[in-house]
Amino acid sequence: MKKITLLLLAIILSSCGQSQQKVNPTTTLLSNVHIVDVVNGKVIENQNVIIDSSKIQAVLSEVPNPEQYQNVIDGKNGYVIPGLAEMHAHIPPPTVSRERLEEVLFLYLSNGITTIRGMLGNKTHLTLREDIANGKVLGPRVFTSSPSLNGNSVKTKEEAIAKVTAYQKAGFDFLKIHPGIQRDVFDQVVITANEVDIPFAGHVPVDVGIRHALKSNYASIDHIDGFLEGLVPESENVDPTTNGFFGYNFTPLADTDKINELVSLSKEHKVWIVPTQSLFERWFAPITADELLKQPEMKYMPKATLENWKQVKERYMTDNSFSTAQWQQFDSIRKSLLAELNKNGHGILLGSDAPQLFNVPGFSIHHEIDGMLGAGMTPLEILQSGTTNPAIFFGMEATFGQIKEGLVADIVVLEANPLENLKALKKIQGVVLKGKWISKIEIEERLVKIAKNASK
């Protein structure tokens, strides 16, 4: 009996010791938050997120002994979503200063973007990708394309074989397809890409055409490129090279009854779509450059860039082929395509093409979201396009895309519920990047410095 009593006492003492044991000093407690489940659209109220070693260790409604945590972030009843992905970004080229490069990366982070897919790669981006992954540079997770494959860079099948093979060996995440590639050369790009196992994405060259492009199994087609041209009946006998800005010249000829056929092909061949709708509602739209230049985020871009954007836009707007009525029809067709691709296609990925004309990195994602809402997508579908869908696209559902135990702690804390109003994505309390907390105050202070540098 005495032995049993002593054993019970030892167990009790051991249990007490465990309950009072201090947690790892590197562990962070994110408390008092409501978690937005981006899979089912539900909000799980009054939760706490335990973060350590850059990962989410637990999500709890109650935390035993919260006083043990040395690092506590009070979420102030904010709403938590996974970090967003900008799936059509442009990483500055090596000609840009290191300081400016890091500023651009922070512009993405300041808007809750913790993953970017760079769409015009350079070998320096491979090093940057590793430096960010290793914590040497503060920035979103990077996926980078190869340098451009276009009508000038790959003119023959031999060049296609050589470059595709070299880019895969160099470690680029995917190939970037640009306009101008002839169909036989494109087909060789596809054959070699499949042989060496590297995906390809981007534009649809005119000589290839949307139907052949979809059947070739792009990883993603960006800008909804080639789709409008694909709506033109063969009986019109158009010269495909006269399509204009993403098919704008063919707008009056488009037969929208053909949309379902193209959408079905995209689903059959599992081709994701990155709409970059903001590109067409800002650069190529009946809004003046001066109006766009008044928007608050323009202060983060260098003066020379803003001047260039103004010149390019004004050149497009004074072109004889442009008319407001035709643009409205063009925009309506694009939105119909986007709506149907979202409803019955393979899937939509959030991407705005920044920094393209008047699309400031990070901030442009909000304009893209407005365009997606205008096409009829729901707030939940839009959130999924920037969280779970990119994770699925990269085959990394076990790494990021949700607020879930075991996933990387890429988290955005918002002041309001984005499911009720996506403007909440602009009201950021702070961002957790691989477990590192970047507060609202830190974000605002850094943005002031970036604006000051841009004004010089």
Give the CATH number of domain 27-82+401-456.
2.30.40.10
Note the pLDDT tens digit of each residue in 205-264: 999 999 999 999 999 999 999 999 999 999 999 999 999 999 999 999 999 999 999 999
Residue 240 DSSP class:
G
Q: What pLDDT band is residue 318 in, cutting at 50, 70 and 90?
A: confident
Q: Give the pairing of strands 71-82 and 411-414.
A: antiparallel
pLDDT of residue 1: 46
Note the pLDDT tens digit of each residue in 380-439: 999 999 999 999 999 999 999 999 999 999 999 999 999 999 999 999 999 999 999 999
Asked if pLDDT for residue 8 goes beyond 50, the answer is: no
Cβ(58)–Cβ(50) below 8 Å? yes
Contacts of 426 (CB under 8 A, 6+ apart): 111, 366
pLDDT of residue 6: 43
With tokens 């099948």, the residue in question is 157
Share of the chain above pLDDT 90, in %: 91
Give the separation between CA 49 and CA 107, rounded to whole angstroms: 26
∠ CA 105-107-108, nearest 5°, is 70
pLDDT of residue 21: 56
Lowest mean pLDDT among 14-28, 326-340, 375-389: 14-28
pLDDT of residue 7: 45
**What are the residue ranges spanned by the domains of the chain?**
27-82+401-456, 84-395
CATH homologous superfamily for 84-395?
Answer: Metal-dependent hydrolases (3.20.20.140)
- Give the pTM: 0.94
